[in-house]
């Protein structure tokens, strides 16, 4: 039987395999709830996120993680109001959080508190992706074969996780088992950007965060974000954010 984690009066997480337990009589029942389920997470199949605007759970017993949230909470906190049902590929950052909830260590109140906190983090991450229109439909809305989509999603996950490395398109294509040209064309079609642009964006966003949240020297930030020289980093950063790294850091200090 699944473990129920009461996150708040408006949200419950169900973790593990099996049937859904009854919520204890002392808990306020959820009203007009929506569902975020995560088939594939913790299993050897492509991971995805399923959304339903009604709390229909009967066919989700094999799903190792399900979030049930009151619709009014999603609207109030995230300005999110979806109708019907949908299924998307699960982004790498959300996948890591979901897996950490399922495989969370600890016992008793420690385990419960960790899962509670990470459930909130996962919901926030998903709603951010939804608000930005970044989730890729799992089926039915792309002419690409499903196997190619799975490999492209895997390539995106590698970029999200290993952006510090020297990733090349031929090596990435070999790693995910897809033709180089299919990788390039399919990635642009699926994500609306190139692999090079995504890598650059990922690295520069990380650099911006480092500059604002630490006193690491600019040259060291450039090196950590895989730029070979401070000059090339400064040019790319200024093109992206409209000002050089030193000016951004100074603005952060003055704020």
CB atoms within 10 A of CB 15: 20
Contact 69, 51 (CB under 8 A): no
The per-residue pLDDT for 81 is: 79
pLDDT score recorded for residue 143 = 65
> pLDDT of 55-69, one tens digit each?
889 899 999 999 999
**pLDDT reported for residue 140:** 45
Q: Helix 180-191 and helix 195-213: axis angle, to 10°?
A: 60
The fold adopted by the segment(s) 197-254 is Arc Repressor Mutant, subunit A (1.10.10)
Q: How does pLDDT run across 144-194, given as a tens digit for each residue?
A: 776 787 788 788 888 888 888 989 999 999 999 999 999 999 888 877 789
The span from the CA of 1 to the CA of 20, in Å, is 6
Share of the chain above pLDDT 70, in %: 94
Please report, for the chain, the start and end positions of each structural domain, with discontinuous segments joined by +.
Answer: 3-131, 146-192, 197-254
Lowest-pLDDT range of 1-10, 60-69, 108-117, 131-140: 131-140
Closest Cα to residue 94, out of 161, 188, 177? 161
Query: Tens digits of per-residue pLDDT, 108-127?
Result: 899 999 999 999 999 999 99
pLDDT at position 136? 77
The b/e string for 20-43 (b: 16+ C-beta within 10 A; e otherwise) is beeeeeeeeebeebbbbbbbbbbe
What pTM value is reported for the model? 0.61
Question: How far, in Å, CA of 195 to CA of 158, rounded?
Answer: 11
- pLDDT confidence bin for 106, thresholds 50/70/90: confident
Q: Rounded to an integer, what distance in angstroms lies between the CA atom of residue 72 and that of residue 187?
A: 35
At residue 253, does pLDDT exceed 70?
Answer: no
**117/124 Cα distance (integer angstroms):** 11
User: Would you say residue 47 has pLDDT above 90?
Assistant: no
State the chain's mean pLDDT as an integer.
87
For residues 246 and 74, give the distance between their C-alpha atoms in angstroms, rounded to a whole number.
38
* Measured distance CA(135)–CA(88) in Å, rounded: 6
């Amino acid at each position: 039987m699944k473990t129920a984690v009461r996150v708040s009066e408006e949200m419950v997480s169900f973790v593990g395999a099996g049937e859904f337990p009854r919520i204890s009589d002392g808990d306020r029942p959820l009203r007009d709830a929506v569902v975020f389920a995560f088939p594939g997470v913790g299993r050897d199949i492509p991971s995805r996120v399923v959304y339903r605007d009604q709390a229909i759970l009967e066919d989700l017993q094999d799903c190792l993680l399900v979030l049930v949230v009151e619709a009014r909470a999603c609207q109030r906190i995230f300005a999110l109001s979806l109708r019907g049902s949908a299924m998307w590929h699960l982004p790498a950052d959300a996948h890591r959080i979901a897996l950490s909830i399922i495989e969370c260590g600890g016992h008793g109140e420690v385990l419960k508190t960790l899962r509670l906190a990470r459930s909130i983090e996962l919901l926030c991450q998903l709603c951010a992706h939804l608000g930005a229109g970044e989730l890729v439909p799992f089926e039915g809305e792309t002419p690409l074969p499903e196997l190619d989509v799975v490999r492209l999603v895997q390539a995106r996950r590698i970029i999200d996780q290993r952006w510090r490395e020297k990733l090349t398109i031929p090596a990435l294509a070999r790693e995910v088992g897809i033709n180089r040209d299919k990788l390039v064309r399919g990635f642009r079609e699926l994500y609306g950007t190139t692999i090079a642009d995504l890598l650059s964006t990922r690295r520069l966003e990380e650099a911006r965060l480092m500059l604002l949240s630490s006193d690491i020297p600019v040259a060291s930030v450039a090196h950590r974000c895989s730029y070979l020289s401070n000059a090339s980093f400064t040019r790319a950063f200024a093109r992206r954010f409209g000002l050089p790294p030193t000016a951004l850091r100074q603005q952060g200090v003055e704020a």
